[in-house]
């Protein structure tokens, strides 16, 4: 399968309407300056930083109410020139100077811009947070075009988390909104993203259909960016190498005309891969290495990840095994720095919390409707017996309907939580598959190539190369053990929950970070299903990890005992105690609570009077 790690992101702004954003009471001089800067920013070859700075200083001196908008312009200038750290700095200034009295909001555009910048820097967690901030605003009567752009970006991010179903779902929602609102510029780009999504999901027929649709739409719009993405998609999904080469050449030409380095890097990368597949590694090599150089230059870690892998493969096929090993090292190290199961878990929890909060809001609104119905009933009583007899029946009937709807919404919320965990399991399977293929297999391949290069090295370099191979194999061994242990701990499978907990605790006690004891006063833990034991074991791991990271405790105890319904687990420590707050660090506790709730269990955590924290987990046996 051809590789294209370019997940299409763009930010939602209506720069043609910047005059409206400034308002009717702003001088024509200011409006004219902003219009000139917009045009300058679009031209990536034009230097206009001085003009932007002068505009901001002018805005400060006149104390304009749209300083946030001017800082956003500067952040956008840096974004278009791939200077991501500067983009984030001035984006933060725009948010800090946000003027809530303005009719046109720059915070939506700024959040989306910063989310994109964080994504290209490899920080998917920060990107998801900013996207969800915008979703909260836009899904409650926001601009449909901006909502379409947001859905496209959320879809791209879900693709990074191997949730291809949600990726396609959000991108299709984005396409529908943009199509309904006649957005000819961005519609081909979303179609291109859908072609790539179906390709990653191995749905070749849908991928080719959307790739052809992308080309048709881009020709109608005559948009160079759209054409570049159309040809990238076609070259990726076409099975015939000659056709793919033709499309890839067109993609390179359009990318070079566009002068967008991120797109150029992607086009070079894909062109090099197709050339290599066509038996032309010598012609492919310069494009592959230029793709890596450009991605490194602009700090685009996501493009750099794919480009390094392709460059390594081409060097290997060309017999340059030591150079190939260097590119594979770059790929593996970069992948470790921007991806991990823990990060993806946190991002997934953010998404689940967002979905359940939407349901909770609907439930709250439904409860408010019911309260209003009760108030209306009271007023009706005061109005007279006849009015009560007429309206009371109608209101009672309506109240019953509202109660039924409330029950339905609560059930939908529970189903959403349960479905999130089911989908999470499927994503975990896909993640493990990718980890084995991309991490362990890549490192073993690198070790193999390093060994093959030893006979061709000078004598003094051979021991150094052997040491490198040893380090790679040690890392592969550790990664394989880690993946296997995370799937299902061996002790849990053979000896059950209590023994697995004791084994887990003994490993922690060896580190001398904390001393933990386990007390078993329950005789029936072995009767729990293996799936339920694994879920409880993961909860215990999460709570123990929280104690180590946050409590500053010296001692802790895990106690298994009976309660009225079955099993109760108490985890106590002598640390500083748990403070209930809305800080981001409580995401793990939220996940535990929802996970146990989905199986009919209970979870509570409190600060003990004697000091430290007590967490209680209750499960029906």
Q: What is the pLDDT of residues 138-160, one digit of tens each?
A: 888 778 888 888 898 888 888 87
Mean pLDDT of 590-606: 80
Phi, psi torsion values for 501, nearest 5 degrees: -65, -45
CA distance linking residue 413 with residue 62, whole number of Å:
50
The pLDDT-based confidence of 69 (bands split at 50, 70, 90) is confident
Summarize pLDDT for 34-60 with one digit per residue, the tens.
Answer: 888 888 887 767 788 888 898 889 888
The neighbour count for residue 259, using CB atoms within 10 Å, is: 12
Mean pLDDT of 308-325: 85
Q: What is the pLDDT of residue 177?
A: 92
End-to-end CA distance of the chain: 47
Answer whether residue 104 shows pLDDT above 50. Answer: no
Answer whether residue 175 shows pLDDT above 90. Answer: yes
Q: What is the mean pLDDT of the chain?
A: 78
Answer whether residue 452 shows pLDDT above 60. Answer: yes
The pLDDT-based confidence of 531 (bands split at 50, 70, 90) is confident
Summarize pLDDT for 338-396 with one digit per residue, the tens.
Answer: 555 445 555 555 565 666 666 666 666 676 777 777 666 666 666 666 666 666 666 66
Query: Which strands make up the sheet holding 613-620, listed edge to edge?
Result: 515-520, 555-562, 566-573, 613-620, 602-607
Answer whether residue 101 shows pLDDT above 60. Answer: no
Mean pLDDT of 163-192: 88
Can you list the alpha helix ranges (DSSP code H) found in 62-203? Answer: 67-80, 84-96, 107-120, 124-138, 144-160, 164-180, 187-200
Q: What is the pLDDT of residue 581?
A: 46
The pLDDT-based confidence of 420 (bands split at 50, 70, 90) is low
- The secondary element (H helix, E strand) that includes residue 288 is helix 281-298
Summarize pLDDT for 252-293 with one digit per residue, the tens.
Answer: 998 898 888 888 988 899 899 889 888 898 998 999 899 999
CB 143 within 8 A of CB 178: no
Beta bridge partners of residue 557, listed in sequence order? 517, 572
Q: What is the pLDDT of residue 518?
A: 94
22 or 69: which carries more pLDDT confidence?
A: 69
Summarize pLDDT for 209-259 with one digit per residue, the tens.
Answer: 888 888 888 877 777 877 887 788 888 777 788 888 998 898 899 889 888
Summarize pLDDT for 605-616 with one digit per residue, the tens.
Answer: 988 888 889 999
Q: What is the pLDDT of residue 374?
A: 67
Q: What is the pLDDT of residue 558?
A: 95
> Which domains are assigned to the chain?
1-137 (1.25.40.10), 341-484 (no CATH), 490-620 (3.30.565.10)
Answer whether residue 336 shows pLDDT above 50. Answer: yes
- In b/e form, how buried is each residue of 273-282, taking b as 16+ CB within 10 angstroms? bbbbbeeebe
SS3 at position 25: coil
Summarize pLDDT for 463-499 with one digit per residue, the tens.
Answer: 887 888 788 787 777 667 666 666 667 778 788 889 8
Can you list the alpha helix ranges (DSSP code H) found in 384-458? Answer: 385-434, 441-453
CA distance linking residue 436 with residue 484, whole number of Å:
10
Q: What percent of the chain lies above the pLDDT cut of 90?
A: 9
Phi, psi torsion values for 556, nearest 5 degrees: -150, 160
Task: Look at phi and psi of residue 545 and say left if phi exceeds 0, alpha if psi is from -120 to 50, else beta.
Answer: alpha
Answer whether residue 449 shows pLDDT above 60. Answer: yes
Answer whether residue 416 shows pLDDT above 70. Answer: no
Strands 613-620 and 602-607: antiparallel
Q: What percent of the chain lies above the pLDDT cut of 70?
A: 76
Q: What is the pLDDT of residue 287?
A: 92
């Amino acid at each position: 399968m051809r590789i294209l790690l370019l997940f299409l992101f763009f930010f939602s702004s209506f720069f043609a309407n910047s005059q409206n954003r400034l308002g009717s009471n702003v001088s024509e001089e200011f409006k004219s300056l902003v219009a000139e800067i917009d045009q300058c920013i679009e031209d990536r070859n034009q230097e206009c930083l001085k003009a932007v700075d002068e505009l901001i200083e002018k805005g400060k001196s006149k104390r304009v109410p749209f300083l946030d908008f001017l800082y956003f312009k500067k952040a956008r200038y840096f974004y278009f020139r791939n200077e991501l750290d500067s983009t984030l700095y001035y984006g933060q200034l725009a948010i800090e100077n946000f003027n809530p009295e303005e009719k046109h909001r720059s915070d939506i555009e700024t959040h989306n811009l910063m989310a994109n910048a964080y994504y290209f820097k490899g920080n998917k967690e920060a990107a998801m947070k900013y996207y969800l901030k915008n979703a909260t605003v836009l899904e409650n009567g926001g601009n449909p075009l901006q909502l379409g752009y947001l859905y496209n970006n959320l879809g791209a991010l879900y693709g990074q988390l191997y949730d291809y179903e949600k990726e396609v779902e959000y991108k299709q929602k984005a396409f529908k909104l943009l199509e309904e609102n006649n957005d000819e510029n961005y519609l081909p780009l979303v179609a291109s993203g859908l072609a790539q999504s179906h390709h990653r999901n191995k749905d070749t027929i849908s991928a080719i259909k959307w790739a052809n649709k992308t080309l048709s739409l881009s020709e109608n719009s005559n948009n160079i960016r759209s054409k570049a993405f159309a040809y990238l998609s076609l070259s990726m999904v076409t099975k015939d190498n000659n056709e793919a080469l033709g499309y890839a050449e067109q993609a390179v030409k359009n990318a070079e005309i566009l002068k967008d380095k991120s797109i150029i890097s992607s086009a070079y990368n894909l062109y090099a891969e197709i050339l290599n597949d066509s038996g032309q590694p010598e012609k492919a090599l310069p494009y592959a290495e230029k793709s890596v150089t450009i991605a490194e230059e602009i700090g685009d870690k996501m493009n750099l990840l794919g480009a390094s892998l392709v460059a390594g493969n081409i060097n290997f096929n060309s017999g340059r095994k030591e150079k190939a090993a260097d590119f594979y090292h770059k790929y593996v190290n970069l992948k470790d720095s921007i991806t991990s199961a823990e990060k993806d878990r946190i991002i997934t929890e953010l998404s689940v919390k967002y979905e359940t909060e939407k349901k909770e809001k609907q439930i709250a609104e439904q409860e408010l409707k019911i309260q209003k119905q009760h108030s209306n009933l009271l007023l009706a009583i005061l109005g007279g017996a006849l009015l009560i007899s007429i309206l009371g029946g109608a209101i009672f009937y309506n109240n019953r309907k509202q109660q039924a709807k409330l029950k339905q919404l609560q059930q939908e919320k529970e189903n959403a939580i349960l479905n999130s965990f089911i989908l999470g399991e499927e994503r975990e399977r896909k993640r493990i598959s990718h980890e084995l293929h991309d991490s362990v297999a890549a490192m073993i391949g690198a070790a193999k190539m390093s060994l093959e290069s030893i006979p061709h090295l000078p004598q003094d370099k051979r021991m150094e190369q052997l040491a490198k191979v040893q380090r790679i194999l040690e890392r592969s061994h550790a990664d394989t053990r880690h993946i296997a242990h995370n799937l299902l701990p061996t002790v849990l499978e053979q000896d059950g929950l209590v023994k697995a907990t004791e084994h887990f605790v003994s490993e922690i006690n060896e580190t001398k970070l904390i001393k933990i004891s386990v007390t078993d006063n329950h005789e029936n833990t072995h009767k729990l299903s293996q799936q339920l034991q694994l879920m409880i074991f993961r909860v215990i791991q999460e709570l123990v990890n929280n104690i180590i990271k946050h409590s500053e405790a010296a001692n802790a105890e895990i106690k298994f005992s009976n309660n009225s319904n079955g099993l109760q687990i108490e985890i106590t420590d002598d640390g500083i105690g748990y403070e209930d707050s809305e800080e981001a660090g409580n995401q793990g506790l939220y996940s535990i609570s929802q996970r146990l709730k989905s199986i009919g269990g209970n979870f509570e955590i409190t600060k003990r009077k004697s000091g430290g924290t007590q967490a209680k987990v209750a499960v029906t046996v």
